[in-house]
Amino acid sequence: MAVKPAGLLTPLDVMRDAAVIPVIVLDDVAQAVPLARALVGGGIRMLEVTLRTPAALACIEAIAAEVPAAVPGAGTVRSAADARAAAAAGARFAVSPGYTPAIGQACGELGLPLLPGVSTGSEILQAQEGGFTELKFFPAVPAGGVAMLKALAGPFHDIRFCPTGGITAANAPEFLALPNVACVGGSWLTPADAVKAGDWERITRLAREAAALR
Ligand code: 3PG
């Protein structure tokens, strides 16, 4: 299915494209395009490139320019300035480890779908006040995992979560089985040693297995 053009993509589109959003850390811009192609080859198009390395923005830019089938997004967005830099580099969505009204407002102005991070009821209420109902549940396993998501489903029946943090190929199915979970996020699709070695076949295999989780 074709990805919606920029400006029309919603947070739910980002969450529903595949069972897993890979959380990507890249040190070298030369790795960005082959990595993106490897993930797309396995059926994963929404790619969260975390703003944790000096190369991150250049990586987003390279993927946006050279891998048309990929939808690069920015992770670890911690400020409005991060959101603006990510959008300027070509990010099509943003993921943040927490929520602030400033980040929410900046993403709104930029037309950048945002999955803000939450782990408590108060944080969910704040994100909801900002107009956000599709949220990253972070850090998913340390913050209570499946039991916490089941508990949150009562008062927050209208919220959809992307649990991230401690999710693996082994425990992903029990998260994905929850009605309030739209997808999961995780770094297991892009092991640091495989990225470093340029083992793109392994990454395609991991992506294919992840895509098959739903
Ligand atoms: C992160 O932001 O680092 C993500 O939560 C990834 O967590 P993981 O490495 O446990 O998948």
Domain ranges of the chain: 11-211
Please say if the pLDDT value at position 184 is more than 90.
yes
pTM > 0.85: yes or no: yes
Residues 18 and 27: beta-carbon distance below 8 Å: no
Phi-psi region of 130 (alpha: psi -120 to 50; beta: other; left: phi over 0): alpha
Separation of CA 120 from chain center: 19
pLDDT value at residue 2: 81
In tens, the pLDDT along 66-116 reads 999 999 999 999 999 999 999 999 999 999 999 999 999 999 999 999 999
The confidence band for 214, taking pLDDT boundaries of 50, 70 and 90, is confident
pLDDT value at residue 122: 98
Q: Which among 49, 161, 164 is the best mutation to test ligand 1's pocket, defined by most ligand atoms within 8 Å of the CB? A: 164
Q: The domain 11-211 is classified under which CATH number: 3.40.640.10, 3.40.50.11890, 3.40.50.300, 3.20.20.70? A: 3.20.20.70
CA distance 93 to 4: 12
Side-chain half-sphere CA neighbours of 212 within 13 A: 9
Q: Does residue 187 line the site of ligand 1, with CB under 6 A?
A: yes
Q: Is 48 a catalytic residue?
A: yes
Segment 33-59 shows an average pLDDT of 98
What's the mean per-residue pLDDT of the chain? 97
